[in-house]
């Protein structure tokens, strides 16, 4: 039986690749819906981008919703400097034809969880956690009904990518991240600690382009655009690929290793705002609330990604 998931996202080239990976894997993942959130760019553009990616995949049966247009307490910080003005620069994708659903994304999340059997829906979060936190605040009963929250966010051993201490998704809305980390649902965190190992080297990008399909061409164009910033910053052979690790973890968890520990979000210090303080070595005595993924098999990940992208138009 395929695992039911809702994808919460701010697409983003790497978000787009994650969505494509999920939609190319219907035997394992039943994507109930996609909810856009403000993050890499503003909400309206992210909702357009999500529909573009759905249409690229050929899975136009997947409904797309728009959630929150700003963080819970802060002004929105965006990342056009990485993702381009549209958030999805690189490929020339047509304007979407499928409609944006009228229901607010937060209400969709609540309604879907409340109407489903408990512990049967996984939330896959690829952007700031505003929508998930607002759903938990509006209807706290959903916490015990969530099967798992699998998120891309945070960093500990690799520290920050938007500030010296904070990863972008958490930094944009640290209060939301704090709500989520305290909610009591099972949580798995794919942080920069692992995504920095999952590098889109020229050979791996070449293999994706060589698939010869529209999706492979688009992914190659996306990652070729977005990698420019990271290649200059890090000086590595390839740029990290963040969000698709969430989907890969659901498909092949054996590719990843980590441990159960306490993760706390810094919400008070301007110096370390949004830092994910992972008690990886169990030194605080605080109760465990998340599985922190530290390492991943990059070759295995790209073999999976390339094989699944080949299934798409």
Which of 220, 242, 260, 282 is flagged as catalytic? 242
**CA 22, CA 49: separation in Å to the nearest integer?**
16
Contact 157, 264 (CB under 8 A): no
Q: Is 304 helix (H, G, I), strand (E, B) or coil?
A: helix
Name residue 259's beta-bridge partners. Answer: 292
- Give backbone dihedrals phi and psi of 178, rounded to 5 degrees, phi first: -65, -45
Q: At what angle do helices 298-309 and 214-234 cross, to 10 degrees?
A: 150
Residue 242 catalytic? Answer: yes
Instruction: Single out the residue of 64, 182, 77, 54 nearest to residue 128, CA to CA.
Output: 77
Alpha helices in 26-102 (DSSP H): 43-57, 80-83
The β-bridge partners of 29 are 3
Quote the CA–CA distance of 150 and 248 in Å, as a whole number: 11
Maximum separation of any 2 CA atoms in the chain, in Å: 53
Active-site residues, by number, are: 242
């Amino acid at each position: 039986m395929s695992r039911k998931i809702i994808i919460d996202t701010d697409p983003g080239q790497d978000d787009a690749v994650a969505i494509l990976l999920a939609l190319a894997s219907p035997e394992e993942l039943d994507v109930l819906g996609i909810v856009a959130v403000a993050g890499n760019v503003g909400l309206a553009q992210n909702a357009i981008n999500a529909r573009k990616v759905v249409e690229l995949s050929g899975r136009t049966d997947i409904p797309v919703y728009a959630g929150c247009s700003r963080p819970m307490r802060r002004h929105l910080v965006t990342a056009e400097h990485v993702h381009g003005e549209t958030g999805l620069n690189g490929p020339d994708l047509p304007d979407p034809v499928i409609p944006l659903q009228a229901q607010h994304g937060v209400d969709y999340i609540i309604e879907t969880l409340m109407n489903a059997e408990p512990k049967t829906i996984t939330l896959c979060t690829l952007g700031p956690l505003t929508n998930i936190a607002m759903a938990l605040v509006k209807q706290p009963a959903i916490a015990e009904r969530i099967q798992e929250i699998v998120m891309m966010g945070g960093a500990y051993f690799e520290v920050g990518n938007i500030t010296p201490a904070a990863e972008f998704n958490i930094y944009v809305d640290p209060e939301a991240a704090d709500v989520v980390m305290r909610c009591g649902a099972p949580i798995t965190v794919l942080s920069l600690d692992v995504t920095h190992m999952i590098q889109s080297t020229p050979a791996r990008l070449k293999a994706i382009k060589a698939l010869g399909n529209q999706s492979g061409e688009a992914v190659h164009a996306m990652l070729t655009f977005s990698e420019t910033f990271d290649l200059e910053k890090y000086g590595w052979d390839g740029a990290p690929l963040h969000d698709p690790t969430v989907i890969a973890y659901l498909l092949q968890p054996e590719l990843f290793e980590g441990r159960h520990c306490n993760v706390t979000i810094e919400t008070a210090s301007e110096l370390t705002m949004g830092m994910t303080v992972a008690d990886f070595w169990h030194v605080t005595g605080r109760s465990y609330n998340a599985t922190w993924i530290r390492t991943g098999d990059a070759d295995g990940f790209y073999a999976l990604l390339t094989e699944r992208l080949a299934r798409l138009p």
